[in-house]
């Protein structure tokens, strides 16, 4: 899908289809400036079909001047946000694909509540994300006909800035669906070695440095957390490291949980909780694809992406409840539950990040706990960190991309819950249901392995996967975190 910015007026910016975003109760006013015959036809059609501009109302029409229009209700104008705009764009793109539209124009003057550059970025990314469905293995695929997006009403003096914003939106949208594709790829294909190969391809295309550590190297570094979790699998683990080098002595480290499939190990999951567990690599993939964004956006700070890839499977060699693991840091973990495996592999990856790169800040993304879904649902990720400035910057970045974060506390009291009688730390409070503060104690565990570094943990277990289609998210992987990380690094000072 291509995105083009034009200074042409909306109504003459395309010969195919125009988008009309109409606020509730203000549809008549919004039609001013249209050719008389089209305005009258639209007004009569909306009245006869009870189209009032309520959110999610969609109306597709062929107008007298031989142009198509897709009208979408935006709801009340007061408080209208970029997030609501993205959802309206999603409705339009779905209607356009259904109608066989190839080109659709969107006016950048859609609302006075935000500037045209912000509108351009949001429209571009939403249009691209809305057309995605994971159908790589289907004989008959859904109709995806929209090829061109036209952004009209760009003032000449603003056009350069608007084009840059549209380019960023297109990049964000394309990388979001790339991440979705990788997360959705089934575990029979998406092994640790496969994921390392995907990272290699990105690094080669974008000029990033890459090192994929194999089994013997992981053993040599004493990364026994990674080795333990992968011990039940035939496929070898990989630790993938991607580096972007700017002219800087400052580094940000991104670390992502990459469990390519999580059966739960010997503490096996029920069948109802296992079929979506290809999504347990979503944190690592968010980091991997964000590194592609970094290579293209070229921030002024060094960025390293660190991704441990494993499979948590059941066999006679699987790690076991009661095991004690000596991690790369030298600290030991008592395993009480093999299904709390993500934090075990991150113990090595986080220590590796801190020891090797001495980063200014470390950010990890992980589908870490089911508890976060109980606490925050499927639309907000948990954020826990040890530095106020870092936490605040992540929250701001998430608000811009509508990948919302909610900070949870990490008071000293919680540390007591993770103390082990036999090791330095245990991987869960206990092996019985109903442990308190599961998301927070997961972060407390991780905090043991970041030393004195500024650090933030994003628990994306609820936001990485959608159980139903909604807005610009299709059912399945959401690509959560890619745009957030890219925005954070664009804004970072």
343 is catalytic: yes
Strands 148-152 and 68-75, by their bridges, are: unpaired
Q: Report yes or no: 94 and 88 within 8 Å, Cβ to Cβ.
A: no
- In the set 39, 269, 320, 475, the catalytic residue is 269
- In the set 257, 343, 426, 454, the catalytic residue is 343
Cα–Cα distance measured from residue 438 to residue 446, given in angstroms and rounded to the nearest whole number: 13
Cα–Cα distance measured from residue 381 to residue 282, given in angstroms and rounded to the nearest whole number: 13
Spatial CB neighbours of 113, under 8 Å, sequence gap ≥ 6: 77, 80, 81
> Looking at the annotation, which residues are catalytic?
269, 343
């Amino acid at each position: 899908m291509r995105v083009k910015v034009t200074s042409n007026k909306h109504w003459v910016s395309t010969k195919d289809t125009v988008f009309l975003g109409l606020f509730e109760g203000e549809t008549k006013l919004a039609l001013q400036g249209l050719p008389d015959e089209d305005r009258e036809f639209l007004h009569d059609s909306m009245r006869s079909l009870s189209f009032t501009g309520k959110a999610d109302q969609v109306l597709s029409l062929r107008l007298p001047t031989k142009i198509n229009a897709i009208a979408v209700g935006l709801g009340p104008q007061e408080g209208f946000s970029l997030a609501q705009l993205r959802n309206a764009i999603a409705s339009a793109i779905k209607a356009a694909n259904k109608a066989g539209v190839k080109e659709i124009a969107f006016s950048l003057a859609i609302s006075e509540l935000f500037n045209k550059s912000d509108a351009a970025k949001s429209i571009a990314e939403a249009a691209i994300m809305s057309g995605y469905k994971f159908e790589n293995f289907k004989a008959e695929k859904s109709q995806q006909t929209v090829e061109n997006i036209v952004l009209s009403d760009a003032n000449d003096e603003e056009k350069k800035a608007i084009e840059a914003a549209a380019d960023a939106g297109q990049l964000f949208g394309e990388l979001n669906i790339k991440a979705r594709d990788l997360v959705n790829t089934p575990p029979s294909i998406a092994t640790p070695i496969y994921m390392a190969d995907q990272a290699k391809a990105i690094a080669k295309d974008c000029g990033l440095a890459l090192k994929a550590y194999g089994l013997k190297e992981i053993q040599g570094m004493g990364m026994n957390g990674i080795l333990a979790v992968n011990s039940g699998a035939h496929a070898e683990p990989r630790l993938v490291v991607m580096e972007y080098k700017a002219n800087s002595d400052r580094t940000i480290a991104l670390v992502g949980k990459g469990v390519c499939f999580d059966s739960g190990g010997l503490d096996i999951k029920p069948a109802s909780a296992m079929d979506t567990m290809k999504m347990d690599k979503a944190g690592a993939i968010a980091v991997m694809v964000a590194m592609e964004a970094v290579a293209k956006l070229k921030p002024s700070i060094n960025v390293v992406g660190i991704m441990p890839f494993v499979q948590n499977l059941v066999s006679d060699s699987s790690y076991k409840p009661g095991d004690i693991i000596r991690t790369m840091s030298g600290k030991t973990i008592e395993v009480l539950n093999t299904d709390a495996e993500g934090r075990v592999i991150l113990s090595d990856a986080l220590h590796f990040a801190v020891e090797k790169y001495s980063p200014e800040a470390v950010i990890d993304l992980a589908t870490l706990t089911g508890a976060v879904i109980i606490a925050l649902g499927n639309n907000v990720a948990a954020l826990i960190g040890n530095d106020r400035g870092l936490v605040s910057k992540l929250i701001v970045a998430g608000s811009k991309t509508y990948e919302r974060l909610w900070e949870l506390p990490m008071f000293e009291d919680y540390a007591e819950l993770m103390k082990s009688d036999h090791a330095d730390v245990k991987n869960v409070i206990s092996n019985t249901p109903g442990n308190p503060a599961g998301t927070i104690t997961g972060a407390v565990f991780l905090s043991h392995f970041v030393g004195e570094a500024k650090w933030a943990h994003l628990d994306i277990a609820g936001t990485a996967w959608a159980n139903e289609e909604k807005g610009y998210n299709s059912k399945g992987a959401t690509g959560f975190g890619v745009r957030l990380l890219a925005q954070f690094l664009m804004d970072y000072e």
